[in-house]
Structure 1
Amino acid sequence: MPQDTPAEPRPAGQTTFLPEEAERFPESPQSPGSSLNAVFWSSVTLIVAFIAVAGFWPERMNTAASAAMNWVTATSGWSLLIIPLALIGLLLVLAFTRFGRIRLGPDDSRPEYPTYAWIAMLLGAVMGIGLITYGVAEPVSHLFDPPHGLTEAGSQEAVIDALRFTFLDWGIHAWAVFAIFGLAIGYSTHRLGNKGLVSPILRPLIGRHADGAVGKTVDVMVIVSTLFGTTTSLGLGAAQISQGLSQITGLELTTSGVQISIIALITLIFTASAMSGVGRGIRYLSQTTMVLAAALLIFVLLAGPTSWLINIFFRSLGSYAGGFVEISLMLPTEADDLQWMQWWTYFMMAWWISWGAFVGVFLARISRGRTIRQFVLVVLGVPSLVFSLWFSVFGGSAMWMDLERGTGIGEAAVEDVNTAFFGLLDQLPLTALTSVVAVVLVVLYFVTGADSNTYVLSVISSDGRMNPQRSVMGVWGVLTGATAAVLLYAGGLQALQTVVMLSAAPFIFVILALAVSLVMMLRRDPLVLKS
């Protein structure tokens, strides 16, 4: 197998993989035609059945899914907050004890990438459509609909609360989910030589069943959950593209028909890209995306109320850190509060869980040779801090404009989150240029993210083969686009959020099993046994 070349970050809604990077995850010993296995057929059957139900009976599907979501969140929604908090504690224990010295690879292995490049790839891992859709919408919505009713809507106190609860949704809790997957997969593949799948990691806990029906069921759950997480990003992306085009052209292009057409067109592009194996162009697109995102951030910081933004960033960060445990355990106590949690915190946590295995494989891929201590501290800390800055600048600018100029961005966002980002740009200089940049960003996130998703789903459904058949990638490309289009048709953003929460609910048990298995593996590590 050829040696890897240094991988460059490709932002995806949410991560990046290239077929020619055929990483050092071991190939499975299988015949060329055996990639179409039970995992593939089971996953495809489930997704096709879902598309059929949602397409032919959208109202029934929405009614049943909403009822199921209400029951799940009312009875076990607490787990979406408690489990990520527990994972944070576990990861910190691993980092600051003797386990922290263990490397993700042999004892003499060293990092493949310089620290600055590694951190850049970490930031690219989850930078995507969500940061455009919610970068303005979440904080400014919280300003006029305060979380848990803790502050008065539109007050200065509500500004700080809006940001610290946004940090809760996008910060350390999310990265703890990614980190536990990344750490487990990285240890399993780089140090133990297993395939780059979730099922082999569970071998210490369930023994030979990890290689049988139970293991295959886990891999199917990974595929289904990941696909729904991806289609949510694609649905949001289509809505953002149509909103941006409407602002640029002055035409009404925000209808579901236009959004489905956008999904269809870009599905053709990313499916062809994945099947062709052409990756170098995507790498350059990824670098371009990172530069454009940074430039847009700096522009808004300088064009907006700069000093005010810096002040609220540090105040909100301090408030978030000081009340970290309190807000991490703030669960709903009444029906209205539960509904708010379903729309925001519960949905966000479920979204991260659905992306956990996908992002985890990427983090494992780029972290070979890192110690557990390095991995945990950087993965939990750096992206959380950078994302907090992003929301402070974009969301903070919108809140300032609503409070000082009465621009109405927040009120519009409460009705439709897709209007918020372009509503902010409309209040700043160079609106036409920045709107075009934002649309280009979403398109690039859309294509690179879906391309990555298609490749990784193909790998997982091909028993870990790093060079899956093109026909398999074609199937997953089409199913990804079809699922996103059907969900938009069936119920828009609410349908997207509902299926993410429902697919993440059973996956919580996989996360718990993964954490237990990881600890069991680490306790048997030769470096630990010798100490």
Structure 2
Amino acid sequence: MLFKNTNQLEKTALFLCIVLSIIAFLFPDALTLQLQPVINQSLSLLGAPFFVLVNVLLVAVLVIAISPIGRRKMGGEQATVEFNLFGWLSMLFAAGMGSGLIFWGIAEPALHTINSPLKAELFGDPQSSGLALTLVNWGAHAWALYAVFGLVLGGLSSRSGQSGDISAPVLSVSQGLLTENWQIKLSFTIKLVAIFAIFFGVVGTLANSTLLLRKGLEIKLGVESALFSGLIIISLIVVLYTLSAKLGLKKGIQALSKLNVFIAFALIVWLLIFVPIQPIIDTAIGGSWDYIQLITSGTWHFANQLNNPEWANGWTYNYYFWWLAWGPFVGVFLAKISQGRPVWQYILGVVLVPTLVTILWFSVFSGSAIAWDAAHHSGILEAIQSDYTQGLFVFFEQLGWQGAVLVWASLLLLLIFVATSADSAILVIRQLSGASQVKSWSLYGWAIALGLCGYVLLVQNNEPLNRSIAIVGAIPFLVIFLLQLIGFVKELLSETKS
């Protein structure tokens, strides 16, 4: 192994993450007054070019799926499949973005419907375009980005996928240019930045999820102490994801992921029983058609589709850097659980299946909520406008005792989803730092650090700030990602010629 001092890497990364969390707790104004403007400026500069790159990557993975490379196996020809299809799909979906679907399932399409950012002359139906824009943020592009990370680290070339080593593709680019000593330092830096990106990307999700869980307890149980209830919720999540990470992939992460999928689909079926289906079908068809229009033409010149191009900085571009922050851990995780599968199957499983589930999820939840509000004037959209954590609860409260069941099931699902993302992240962070098989203290250290930083953000009670913090590590990681792509392509071309 090129990088030997793994103990130093983990101690450095853990120390810096905890110190940054404490500084943020002691000086919270620095987050909003100093850090957030820098992030906004970075998104204004880098957001649009990165979005075009992700469009290119989406096309690239689809081409790879039907090319001769698509017949290769993840991890090499000797690799064998470890997880069955259902377990594999459950884990990749839960790790990728499951908790966000609960948080935004009703709220985001509703917000984009109320005040559509897309030009009316291009997209005439606000509800369809609202769903389409949500799918641009959560659909095929995001999963294609994850799929690329998994391909780069999945052992398709002899070097660029070495045991999920996130620095190997970059070292391939620098081979012959740097001495071994400098390559060791480069590997250290790459892994450190990747750990930062993973850590703060998951922290943003943890804080957002706790906001919704806290709102649920406030509405259903009348809990008035927001900070105390938030502390209890985060503590429960920390215990859950620590236990899952301790149990490992099969007994912990896979079991929780399967439970997530069962609950999620039970929620959809239960909701479909008690609300009119026709508005959901109309929303799904109209939103999917507008989505196809956007991804085939509009997303390549996205600013021309928007009433205000600056809107994308706070939403779409922010999301994509969030996915980039999650990319290192989701990519390593996907590479780990996908060994032995054909590349074409991997791409279909990672890109197509989650996209279809995402369309179904947003169509059912937003379509039924918006239709219900239009028919009953129940104030769902007004509640979302004032506080988008309320939409889910205001809607379900209209459904009587069934709604109460749906509320508690949603909160349970959100709790488990965020735990399955965090436990996967901890597994990958420890693998990157070389601690996955040694010194169990590091597992508890990372678990507590995630919870501590999540609580620091919760105290701020600022969802846009959560999204900004989530991409702190992603912005510098963009350079590493570009070098990874160059190294990966270089290795594939070299092996193809030989």
Distance across 2 between alignment mates of 1:81 and 1:301:
35
Could you tell me which residue of structure 1 aligns to residue 451 of structure 2? 481
Q: Is the 8 A contact 2:153 2:166 kept in 1?
A: yes
Matches within 5 A, 1:20-35: 35=6
State the aligned residue count. Answer: 493
Distance in 1 between residues matched to 2:237 and 2:65, nearest whole Å: 42
1:165 maps to which residue?
133
Equivalent position of 2:432 in the other structure: 460
Shift, 1:140, TM fit:
0.8
1:230 matched to 2:202? The reply is: yes
Q: Give yes or no for contact 1:226–1:358 (8 Å, CA) kept in 2.
A: yes
Residue of structure 2 in register with 1:17 after alignment: none
Partner of 1:181: 149
Alpha-carbon offset, residue 291 of structure 1: 0.8
Asked if structure 2 preserves the Cα contact closer than 8 Å seen for 1:104 and 1:190, the reply is no
Q: Residues 334, 104 of structure 1: CA spacing in aligned structure 2 closer, same or farther, 3 A cutoff?
A: closer
Q: CA deviation at 1:124?
A: 3.4
**Equivalent-residue separation in structure 2 for 1:503 and 1:386 (angstroms):** 28
2:423 aligns with one of 451, 476, 494: 451
Match of 2:356 among 385, 403, 409: 385
Q: Is 1:67–2:47 an aligned residue pair?
A: no
CA deviation after TM superposition for structure 1 residue 425, in Å: 1.4
Per-residue deviation, residues 250-276 of structure 1 (Å, max 9, x unmatched): x14472443234213432443355457
Question: Structure 1 residues 426 and 288, CA, compared in 2 at 3 Å: closer, same or farther?
Answer: same
Question: Deviations for 1:302-329, whole angstroms, at most 9, x for unmatched residues?
Answer: 3222122123212221221133233313
**Residues 1:268 and 1:372: Cα distance change in structure 2 (over 3 Å):** closer
**TM-score (ref. length: structure 1):** 0.85
Corresponding residue for residue 347 of structure 2 = 376
Contact 2:100 2:205 (8 Å CA) reproduced: yes
Distance 1:176 1:46 in 2: 31
Over 3 Å counting, the alpha-carbon distance change for 1:524 and 1:386 in structure 2 is: same
Contact 1:263/1:485, CA 8 A, preserved across alignment: yes
Partner of 2:412: 440
1:150 — aligned with what? Answer: 120
Contact residue 175 and residue 379 of structure 1 kept, 8 A? yes
Q: Assess if the C-alpha contact under 8 Å between 2:197 and 2:326 holds in 1.
A: yes
- 1:330-363 Cα shifts (integer Å, max 9, x gaps): 5448999355323321222122111111111221
Asked whether the 8 Å contact 1:47–1:479 carries over to 2, the reply is yes
Q: For 1:398, which of 360, 364, 369 is the aligned residue?
A: 369
Unaligned regions of 5+ residues in structure 1, if any?
A: 1-27
- In structure 2, the CA distance between the partners of 1:275 and 1:145, relative to structure 1 (3 Å rule), is same
Matched to 2:321, the amino acid is A
The one-letter code of the counterpart of 1:232 is G
Cα pair 1:164 1:316 within 8 Å, conserved:
yes
1: distance between equivalents of 2:416 and 2:111?
Answer: 26
Q: Tell me what 1:364 maps to.
A: 335
Match of 2:89 in 1: 119
Compare 142-151 and 177-186 and name the one that shifted more: 142-151
Query: What does residue 348 of structure 1 align with?
Result: 319
Deviations 1:190-246 (A, max 9, x none): 887723221012222122568411121111111111111111121122112112222
Asked whether the 8 Å contact 1:275–1:474 carries over to 2, the reply is no
Task: Tell me the amino acid that sits aligned with residue 346 of structure 1.
Answer: Y
**What's the offset of the Cα at 1:115?**
4.4
- Tell me which of 373, 385, 408 is aligned to 1:414: 385
Structure 2 runs not aligned, ≥5 long:
none
Cα distance in 1 for residues equivalent to 2:38 and 2:169: 30
Could you state the TM-score of these two structures normalised by the residue count of structure 2? Answer: 0.90
1:94 and 2:64 aligned = yes
Contact 1:246 1:252 in 2 (8 A): yes
Q: Which amino acid aligns with 2:322?
A: W
Q: CA deviation at 1:49?
A: 3.1
- Structure 1 365/323 Cα, relative in aligned 2: closer, same or farther at 3 Å? same
- Please show how residues 237-316 of structure 1 align to structure 2 within 5 Å: 237-249=209-221, 251-253=222-224, 255-271=226-242, 274-275=245-246, 280=251, 283-316=254-287
- Read off the aligned partner of 1:222 and give its amino acid letter: A
Residue 144 to residue 256, structure 1, CA distance change in 2 (3 Å): farther
C-alpha contact (below 8 Å) 1:160/1:315 kept by paired residues: yes
Given that residues 54 and 490 in structure 1 are in contact (C-alpha distance below 8 angstroms), is that contact kept between their aligned partners in structure 2? no
* 1:519-530 → structure 2 map (5 Å cutoff): 519-525=489-495, 528-529=496-497
The letter for the 2-side match of 1:391 is: F
Equivalent position of 1:496 in the other structure: 466
1:255, 1:338 → 2: CA distance? 36
State which of 37, 40, 55 in structure 2 corresponds to 1:85.
55
The residue aligned with 2:397 is: 426
Specify the alignment match of 1:13 in structure 2. none
Relative distance call for 1:174 and 1:243 in structure 2 (3 A) is same
Q: Which residue number in structure 2 is paired with residue 133 of structure 1?
A: 103
Residue 107 (str. 1) matches residue 91 (str. 2): no
Aligned CA distance change for structure 1 residues 94 and 54 (closer, same or farther; 3 Å):
same
- After TM superposition, give the deviation of residue 512 of structure 1 in Å: 1.6
The root-mean-square deviation of aligned C-alpha atoms, in Å, is 2.9
Letter aligned with residue 341 of structure 1:
A
